Structures are given as structure tokens and as C-alpha cells.
Amino acid sequence: MPSLSVARSSVAAFQPGYVPVAVFVGGTSGVGQAMAEALVLQLKGRVHIVLIGRNEGAARRILDGFPKPTTGDGWKHEFVRCNVESMKSARAVCHELKGRLAALNFLVVTAGGPRANSLTEAGVTEEGLDDHLATRYFARYLFTKELLPLLKTAEATGQHAHVMTVLGAGFGFGIARDDLMLDQARKASWAFLHGLTIKIAAMKAMMRGVTYNDGLVAHFASANPSIAFTHIMPGQVWTEGAQYVDLGWALYPLAVLLNGLRRTLMVIPQEDCAQYMLHALLSPENDRGGVFIRGDHGDVIGAHVFPPHVHNTWAEGDSRTGYLHGVRIKGYGGADATVVKLIRWTEEVLSGIE
Ligand SMILES: NC(=O)c1ccc[n+]([C@@H]2O[C@H](COP(=O)([O-])OP(=O)(O)OC[C@H]3O[C@@H](n4cnc5c(N)ncnc54)[C@H](OP(=O)(O)O)[C@@H]3O)[C@@H](O)[C@H]2O)c1
């Protein structure tokens, strides 16, 4: 596992011969903000940064703090508003970006949101998606799929091309086979059990988001083997959105204990986490593309770089968790059978939201 100073020096070595374009979905606070800030600082502002989120005031304050190069050779620092709970909004933003960006080097998705950290709520969005899964999975899938043409252009011209989803990599839990949207999990058969049912559903949704992200990176990496797709765990980071776990009034004492523990254990400031995440994002290990499952120091837990011409060979009958096209990947929760099913379902759900 790299130390903080190793991570810092690898970030400090990043000096691309072009002006990179980096989109941070969730760049207005937390890990995404800190990653954007560190990248801008490293490149002395000579980078095109797109911060995506809802809070324009926060975005403006962050953008104002960025160093500005004196020469105008393609750098830009901007905010694009989007509520990523809505797939319609996410799609519209991607469409707009595709219309004006020539290429994209880094797509980093961190948006989880306070609601996604809540264990007392498990509802559905206006578009009918489980609201935890909307930000933790569907939006990430959509941004990746929609912005892929821009990443392919970057890769084809020899530039970096990397998609990173920051969530909870490395657990290797299997992907669920049924009730993928958790509709059953949210249903309480007894009214007095409703609160408990919702907590269980919320917890399940948080776990599902993690495993679905393993499926997401495996799917896109397999279809685009020369681009890097990473699912990474940020660790316990003291960010605005992750300071409090709400368990509801009935479990208030447990929440106090848990939040106290988190406060004691969440020793990683978001700036340090950003160095580890950037170390992983910029590492030369990604240059040949592939799928990467990484830990909170940016370390590779498991990875697969596809041999030339051997990719997209899904074995639908293979339900062994941790195996991608017959290859065992440590920390990976997918199985060919479950990933194929997950992606078919995702496409079906998203095609119903126009
Ligand atoms: N922090 C931890 O200890 C920890 C531990 C394990 C896993 N994780 C996961 O790692 C990721 C990064 O962590 P974090 O603490 O930085 O996450 P976070 O606090 O949820 O991220 C905040 C960012 O997400 C954006 N966001 C949230 N909901 C949004 C929405 N509906 N539409 C648009 N943007 C939205 C916020 O933008 P606006 O406010 O501008 O909308 C902000 O830019 C998250 O997915 C989190 O679940 C974090």
C-alpha cells in the first residue's frame, strides 16, 4: 500500500504534454472537490475542469480558489448544474458536454449525497428508481455510457482515458440475482415493521450500489479494453456528506455510538484521500486499460488487463462470484452471469426514462 508521501510524489510527477479535460460528478464538496483541487494545483490551473453538482455557490467558491494560468491554451474551470438523481438531467448534461468537448481524459464520479448515506429513508425518485441506487449506480452508469465517445477520442490520440467511480470497492460481495431495484425489500407486510423494513432496504441499497459498481466497471472495461475503468474505495473520510449516519429515533443511541466511532476513526482528511485517489487515477498501471478494483490508498486489490482481441466474452452460465471471463479478480463482486443480467436490466430501466 503506498504511503501518503508516495501518493503525493506520483501525483507531483504528472505533467501531461496536453491540457487534460476532467469531469468531476460530485466536485462541489467532499472527495470530488479535493481531487479537482489537487489536480488543478498540480497542473497550475492548466486543465479543463468541469465540476458537476447542484450547489452553485459552493462551486463558485471552489472555482475562484483555483490558480489561473496567464496563457490561454485551452484551460477552463467551470461548473455545470445537475441533480444526478434524475437520469433525464444527467442525460441532458452529457448531451450538452458531448456537443462541445472534443475529448475527455478523466471522468470521476463521487456523488453519493446525504440522502444516500441515510439509513432511515429508502424511497423512489420521481423517475421510479430506488433513490440510493439513483446516485450510487444509475447516474454513474449513465455518465460513463454517454461520455464514452469522448474518452475513446482521448484514448485514440494517445492521451489518458480513465473512468473512476469512487464508492466502496474491494468487498467482493456477489451481485444480487433478483429484486434488483429493491421493490420487494421496501414493502412491509406489517405496518409496525415498516420502519425496520425501510432501514433494511436502505442498507441493502447501499450494499447493492457497491456491487453494481463492480458490474459497471467490468461491463464497460470488457467492451472498451484499452480504456481504464476503476472502482475505488475512498476509506473513511471526513467529508461534509459523510459526517453523520442517521438511523432514526428508535436507534438514536446506536447512532450516537456509531457517529462517535466514525468521528474517531474517520481520520482521513479529504485532501489526503484526494492524493490517494489521484495516485490511482494517474498511475501508469492504467495506461493499457482494463478493470481495476482499488483500495483506499489507491492500491490495486484486483485488476484485469484484457489480452489483445480477448474481451467481451461473457460466459452467461458462469455464476462464480469474483470471476470475469474465467479470470479470478480479487475484491471483485461480479460473476459473468450476474453482470450480464444486471446490465440488461439497467439498459431496460434507463430506456424507460426518456
Ligand atoms: N466519505 C466517506 O467516509 C466514504 C466512505 C465510503 C464510501 N464513500 C463514498 O465515496 C463517494 C465520495 O464520498 P464523499 O463523502 O465525498 O461523498 P458525498 O459527500 O456524497 O459527495 C458530495 C458531492 O456529491 C454531490 N451530490 C450529492 N448528491 C447529488 C445529487 N443528487 N446531484 C448532484 N450532485 C450530488 C454533491 O454536490 P451538491 O451538493 O452540489 O449537489 C457534492 O459535490 C461517495 O459515493 C460515498 O458514498 C464515502
Instruction: List domains and CATH numbers for the chain.
Output: 4-309 (3.40.50.720)
Distance 291 CA to ligand 1 centre (A): 23
Q: How far apart are CA 19 and CA 154, in angstroms?
A: 11
241 CA → ligand 1 middle, Å = 6
| pLDDT of amino acid 115 | 55
How far, in Å, from the CA of 200 to the mean position of ligand 1?
21
Centroid of ligand 1 to alpha carbon of 270 (angstroms) = 12
Ligand 1 proximity of 236 Cβ (cutoff 6 Å)? yes
For a mutational test of ligand 1's pocket, the pick from 237, 268, 273, i.e. the residue with the most ligand atoms closer than 8 A to its C-beta, is: 237
Atom of ligand 1 nearest to the CA of 117: 47
pLDDT at 188: 64
**What pairing do the DSSP bridges indicate for beta strands 162-166 and 106-109?**
parallel
Cell numbers representing residue 156 in the block: 485514440
Residue 135, φ and ψ in degrees, nearest 5: -85, -35
Helix (H) or strand (E) holding 342: helix 336-351
CA of 177 to the centre of ligand 1 (A): 27
Place of cell 461480479: 334
Measured in angstroms, how far is the CA atom of residue 220 from the centroid of ligand 1?
22
Q: Which atom of ligand 1 lies closest to the CA of 55?
A: 40
Pocket test for ligand 1, best of 51, 54, 83 (most atoms within 8 A of CB): 54
Q: What is the DSSP string of 245-277?
A: ----GGGHHHHHHHHHHHHHH--B-HHHHHHHH
- Give yes or no for residue 96 CB within 6 A of ligand 1: no
CB distance 213 to ligand 1 below 6 Å: no
The amino acid occupying position 23 is V
The ligand 1 atom nearest the CA atom of 56: 40
pLDDT at 250: 74
Amino acid at 231: H
Q: For residue 176, which phi and psi values (nearest 5 degrees)?
A: -60, 150
Ligand 1 atom nearest to CA at 268: 3
**Which atom of ligand 1 lies at the shortest distance from residue 32's CA?**
16
Cβ within 8 Å of residue 330, ≥6 positions away: 172, 293, 301, 302, 322
Closest C-alpha to ligand 1, atom 44: 112
Could you tell me which residues come within 8 angstroms of residue 99 by beta carbon, excluding any fewer than 6 positions away?
A: none
Gap between the Cα atoms of 325 and 268, Å rounded: 36
What confidence score (pLDDT) does residue 200 get? 80
10-residue mean pLDDT profile of the chain (354 residues): values are 96 97 97 98 98 98 96 93 97 98 98 63 84 94 98 98 97 92 76 70 87 98 98 91 71 81 80 98 97 98 94 95 97 98 98 93
215 lines ligand 1 (CB under 6 A): no
pLDDT at 118: 59
Q: In whole angstroms, what is the distance from residue 110 CA to residue 131 CA?
A: 16
